Amino acid sequence: MPHVTHVTAPLPSGSGAADPGAERRVPTLADVVGVLEHLYDPAWARDWDRVGLVCGDPAAPVRRVMLAVDPAASVVEDALDWHADLLLTHHPLLLRGVHSVAATSAKGRIVHQLVRAGCALYTAHTNADVAVPGVSDALARVMGLTDLRPLLPDLDPAGQPAGGRGLGRIGRLAAPTTLREFAMLVAEVLPASAQGVRIAGDPGCVIESVAVSGGAGDDLLAAARGAGVDVFVTADLRHHPAGELREEVGEAPPFLIDVSHWSSEWPWLAGVANRLEGELEAAGSPVEVQVSTRCTDPWTFRVPSPGGIVR
């Protein structure tokens, strides 16, 4: 079964549109990286992060680009089967320092496969999280949230909000709904995962303001509480941080919705595909872009507790 889907980009209009008579050329990796770094400036990444080109020759031509959340072996295999020239992933392959990329480790094998096939690997991670639009904008939009603003704004050296960027997003639903109904919507609009959707709070409570953060959101629990939102949607919430927040607030908001990490970040890829296709088309150097639909969550199945309580 193919694990990719084609995303059709709207043709750019206005002064930036390509002249139909103009010569079209195949972009180089440097051209494509230039567009990506305009969308997701590496300078926006957190200090601990490692973003940008992992492997690849900037002078090499790029005709096909695959987008995915994780540089997992299965994704790399799909990319190479499709003859991708560039694989763009959200998560870094090599976040921590390495002294070897020998093909004796999983990561080393991936580097070898990519280099051998002439496929570049590029990472846009926390710089894509804070960008506008970024990873959490996409997550908020699929849930129908509007009036989006950062949950934890980036500040410039003068302490002022930096270009509307920041981690997480706060928004509003079009109309108040119950926590149960909203959780069902979240489960419906996000790609399926073995984990499903876990909720902390009374299902009958009415909610309207929502904070979201794609990926692991433990660090933003206090910000979500401080922002006074009704519910916080994120991934990878752990027992102690989540339990302690719920103990502090009692029956009150914020309620918590925990989704799979991969599901929370995957919606971002469609927007990247559209922007990348649109900008390169406008520059007269189009590329084919595909979004990988392969679920790369490590969890592959779930057994419901037979005596569990389902409310």
Interface region with Zn ion, contact rule CB under 5 A, candidates 23-31, 158-166, 198-206, 209-217: 209-217
Q: Measured from the CB of residue 71, what is the shortest distance to Zn ion in angstroms?
A: 12
DSSP 28: B
CB closer to Zn ion out of 27 and 165: 165
Q: How many residues bind Zn ion (CB under 5 A)?
A: 1
Least distance to Zn ion, CB of residue 231, Å? 20
DSSP conformation class of 61: B
Return the number of the residue (29 or 295) whose C-beta is nearest Zn ion: 295
Nearer to Zn ion by Cβ, of 27 and 215: the residue is: 215
Sheet holding 146-155, edge to edge: 146-155, 161-178, 206-216, 231-235, 255-259, 198-200
Residue nearest to Zn ion (CB): 215
Give Cβ neighbours of residue 5 (< 8 Å, ≥ 6 apart). 290, 291, 293
**Cβ distance 121 to 93 under 8 Å?**
yes
Strand order in the sheet with 52-55: 4-6, 288-292, 64-68, 86-89, 120-123, 52-55
CB of 76 vs Zn ion, minimal distance in Å: 18
C-beta of 26: minimal distance to Zn ion in Å?
32
Smallest separation (angstroms) from Zn ion to the CB of 149: 21
Under 8 Å between Cβ of 6 and 116: no
Per DSSP, which regions of the chain are E strands? 4-6, 52-55, 64-68, 86-89, 120-123, 146-155, 161-178, 198-200, 206-216, 231-235, 255-259, 288-292
Under rule CB under 5 A, residue 215 binds Zn ion = yes
Question: Considering the rule CB under 5 A, would residue 56 count as an interface residue with Zn ion?
Answer: no
Residue with Cβ nearer Zn ion (182 or 268): 268
Residue 262 contacts residue 139 (beta carbons within 8 Å) = no
The window from 9-17, 152-160, 168-176, 213-221 that contacts Zn ion (CB under 5 A) reads: 213-221
Residue closer to Zn ion, measured from CB, 134 or 215:
215
Q: Which is nearer to Zn ion, 36 or 128 (CB)?
A: 128
CB of 265 to Zn ion, least distance (A): 5
Q: Which stretch binds Zn ion (CB under 5 A): 60-68, 112-120, 214-222, 291-299?
A: 214-222
Site mask for Zn ion (CB under 5 A), range 74-113, x = bound:
----------------------------------------
Cα-based distances in Å from 227 to 184, 239, 254? 24, 22, 9
Scanning the structure block, which residue is given the tokens 């037979």?
306
Which region, judged by CB under 5 A, interacts with Zn ion, from 146-154, 208-216, 241-249, 279-287? 208-216
Q: What binding mask, one character per residue, do residues 106-145 give for Zn ion by CB under 5 A, x or -? A: ----------------------------------------
Task: Pull the structure tokens for residue 125.
Answer: 């991670």
234 or 285: CB nearest Zn ion: 234
Residue type, 176: P
- Per the CB < 8 A criterion, the answer to whether 10 and 278 are in contact is yes
- Contact residues for Zn ion (CB under 5 A)? 215
